[in-house]
Amino acid sequence: PYTTLFRSIQVAAARFDYIGFGPQLLLLPHLREALVSSVEFPGFMQLFDTQGPPGCPSLPARLLDRSPCLKFSPAHAKTALKKEQQIPKLEFSFSRMGGDDISRAAEWFQGQWKKNLNLQVTLSPIEQLMYLQRLRASPPPIFRKGVSLDRPTCLAALELFTKGHPENYIHFDDREYEKLVERLRTSSGDSERKVRCRKAIEYLLNSHRLL
């Protein structure tokens, strides 16, 4: 008789998962603002085991004293929504490859928007290959995207949303943001990178182009 021993090896991977708003919502800033500020992230942590609070991108945490976070304010969200004269049909697309966890997360966001804004958002799970093709050709109004970063840095995540980047599915095109990312790219030390990383993250969050 013999015994086989198995050793579990875990490899850490840097990821940036977000919910983006496609070009169809580009000219609807108040709707995007409402969608962002109507999400109560502490409730998300009751469904999923997360190492950090959702809505607070730390890229990476060692570079930030404290991560800037999206603010939950249903009253503010409702006020912003009233400023939009017409609300288009909202579809939230995501890849089926993510399995039950991604579907459950999508249902949670759908429930938040229904509860806090009385908005009906249709969920649209799509096969992975077709999903990627759609993101490249014509991103849906709301979509979920996970990205494995090629290096564990703040810059690696923020570069995703620079003009011309193949992963810039929200079609973010902002000169001030480009300047902030370039300043981060040319930073010479950790303390300078920390300040510039935070400024770029805050600018991106304040654009209400993603969650």
The C-alpha atoms of residue 102 and residue 174 are separated, in whole angstroms, by 30
Q: Note the pLDDT tens digit of each residue in 67-118.
A: 688 899 999 999 999 999 999 999 999 999 988 889 999 999 999 999 999 9
As separate numbers, helices (DSSP H) first and strands (DSSP E) second, the chain gives: 8, 4
Q: Which of 172, 72, 156 is nearest to 115 (CA)?
A: 72
* Cβ–Cβ < 8 Å for 157, 187: no
Q: Is the peptide bond before 60 cis (omega within 30 degrees of 0)?
A: yes
Instruction: Identify the residue with better confidence: 66 or 152.
Output: 152
pLDDT on residue 59: 67
Ramachandran area for residue 2 (φ above 0: left; ψ -120 to 50: alpha; else beta): beta
Q: Which of 129, 150, 193 is nearest to 14 (CA)?
A: 150
| Contact between 158 and 181 (Cβ < 8 Å) | yes
Residue 114: CB atoms within 10 A of its CB come to 13
**CA distance linking residue 58 with residue 28, whole number of Å:** 27
pTM: 0.88
CA dist., res. 103 & res. 28, Å (int): 26
Per-residue pLDDT of 157-171, as tens digits, reads: 999 999 999 999 999
Mean pLDDT, residues 20-40 taken together = 96
94-106: pLDDT as tens digits: 999 988 889 999 9
Would the pLDDT of 61 be above 50? Answer: no
